[in-house]
A and B are shown apart, each in its own frame.
Chain A
Amino acid sequence: MKFGIFHELATPRPFTAENESKVLFNALEQVRLADELGFDTVWAVEHHFLEGYSHSSAPELFLTACAMQTKQIRVGHGAVVCVREMNHPIRVAERAATLDLLSGGRLEFGTARSSTWTELGGFEADPDRTKQDWDEFVRAIPGMWTQERFSWKGSCFSMPERAVLPKPMQKPHPPMWVTVTSPGTELDAAERGLGCLGVATASLSEQERRTKEYHRRIQLCEPAGQVVNDQVATLNFMHCHEDLATGAKRGMGFLGLFGALNAQLLFTREAYPTTAYQSLGGISAPAASKGGGNPGAAYGVPDGVCIGDPKTIIEAIKRWESVGVDQLNFLVNACEVLPQEQVLESMRLFAREVMPAFARGKTRREPVLQSGAALGAGGRA
């Protein structure tokens, strides 16, 4: 089992330079501590326009700062939005390779297509096309990283032969992931040999079903890149305290706020009728489906959430482990609702009492050699 911390950079109002800076620098302090404590990965999302919920609109800059202040922890671009109106694939490949070099080969490269109309609408992106764009990005970018000169002719973008530089440090290229919000995206990940980066809080039983199918399908994958990443990661919330009640109270404080901020976003399915977004999505979607339609329904600590004392958290993680999850990525605060010292102390206690209960690390599958054609050499029909 691997452990990561996951940054959305949720920010309290008013959105002053002081508050924005505080969130960024507190997050960096958490990352430095996570590195010292042996956490495996720090992830940062890419979001735009999500007031309060996530101000992580330039994750490559935040992650560069993380890389320059740490030694061991891997830096997870989790995830780059692979939609033509929001990022150009060449710029994505260049930035990611530079980050891989600056971090000394510690990049984990996540990909996504955005689930909110708040974001897609802001860029006037077409929700009907986002999956098509994402698919083209994930097939083209590995070629940009591995071929001396690269060309592409596709429906989302085209380019004549050019040297996309620099090349990443990791060979053949950094591990690739796709964020999974909607049910079924795990199958898209499996078919392309991509890691499954869960970013919505699926239930244990739902995660077990998805993981089983993912592992079955990935055996038959046609990798988009030159290396298969067959890991399953999922998002969780973590607050660890010696006293169960204190841990639960503090943890639910930031979890509840984060869920409420998430619920305010306008999800694509709600705003834009389309066949391309089959679920409402969002962190709070599972909670909103409970309670029989009652907006006042009270929720305790949700099943499998890593909030409480070390014993409770170990039990929760063992359940995730039993359903095939390789990595848990933790949100540790939201909008600075918990004082920074409480967050750091929780991380220290987690490292001291919880981490030793789990075997760490996992060997990635060996690189799968691909023909040049599969990576887009000479253009794509």
Chain B
Amino acid sequence: MLSGTADPKRFEKEAPTIPVFTEASLELSDCVFLQALCEIEAEPMCAMLPPALHPTLPPVASWSAFEAADSDWGRFRLAQLRIECRSGLRPRGLLVGAVVDSAQAAKALAERFGFRCIVGEVELARAYDSTHLRVARGGRCLVELVLREPVRLGDSDTQFVSSLHAAHTPRGFRLVQVDTEYAVKRAERGRLEIVAFDAAAWGEETIRPTFALPGVVGRVDLSIRPIRFVCRPDILAFQGTESVLPEDGTR
């Protein structure tokens, strides 16, 4: 069975620090969201993942973005890039990087959930027949995507997969499982067009898109749940997963 071969130390560099595991969810209501997947070149698929994780067959990267109309830090937008993978038997996405257009939100998301964030520009624009996502920093475009020819989906027709964020935690350097619940209010599938993608700017230059899959746009209520599990990056998740739930089972 294929497993990751990347040196876990590689993920420590620039990993955020979670000083304490938060016990509160982050609720973000009525967000515009976008999710798009793309098959990527298979040759480096194991080298992109730490030994805890397994690649999917075929390997896939995903971009997702949301615009929160309101939060403790005001309105903000977040875009992220993940490599889809398996942790044990479970589908997960390893966060490569995130861009947030609010410095306050970026700091809070890094400290509470281990988002490896940089502050940049995130534009998420919906039109009648297409949705555009453009992520940039200092004039350098990180990704530009368009979803065209929208087709209405049911509220439960989209699969959302929990994330793994490399972060320094009270348990040490770990992959932190971040579970986000999506209450979908409206969803449309669109044909994905990748206008521009700068893999190196996200921090993983070996991601090379090969086959675009359809994406989804819509409106959701998001709930990023308190962290329940962390995992050592250097051994298989079957052996290296630790619960950080309080012993009384609350949360």
Contact = CB atoms under 8 A, between A and B. Distances in A.
Contacts of A280: 91, 159
A263 B153 contact: no
Contacts of A21: none
A257 B1 contact: yes
B1 A260 contact: yes
B241 A121 contact: no
Interface of A: 49-52, 117-118, 121, 257, 259-261, 263-266, 269-275, 278, 280, 284, 287-288, 292-297
A295 B237 contact: yes
Contacts of B211: 121
Interface string B217-246: 000000000001101000001111111000
Interface stretch (B4-12, B52-60, B67-75, B118-126): B52-60
Main secondary structure of the interface of B (DSSP, over half): strand
**Central interface residue in B87, B179, B213, by most chain A CB within 10 Å:** B213
Given A121-B211, A293-B162, A266 B189 contact: no
Given A263-B91, A295-B231, 5 more contacts: A121-B213, A263-B54, A273-B215, A293-B179, A295-B87
B161 interface: yes
Given A270-B159, A274-B189, A275-B157, A296 B57 contact: no
Contact of A272 (B1, B90, B214): B214
Interface of B: 1-2, 37, 39, 54-58, 60, 84, 86-92, 153-154, 156-159, 161-162, 177, 179, 187, 189, 211, 213-216, 228-229, 231, 237-243
Contacts of A284: 89
A273 B89 contact: no
A293 B56 contact: no
A288 B189 contact: no
B57 A50 contact: yes
A295 B90 CA distance: 6
Contacts of B189: 273-274
B37 A294 contact: no
A296 B231 contact: yes
B241 A271 contact: no
A50 B55 CA distance: 13
Given A275-B154, A294-B229, A296-B88, A265 B241 contact: no
Contact of B86 (A118, A263, A269, A278): A263
21 contacts: A49-B57, A260-B1, A264-B2, A264-B56, A266-B57, A266-B60, A269-B159, A270-B161, A271-B37, A272-B214, A273-B157, A287-B89, A294-B228, A294-B229, A295-B87, A295-B88, A295-B92, A295-B231, A295-B237, A295-B241, A296-B231
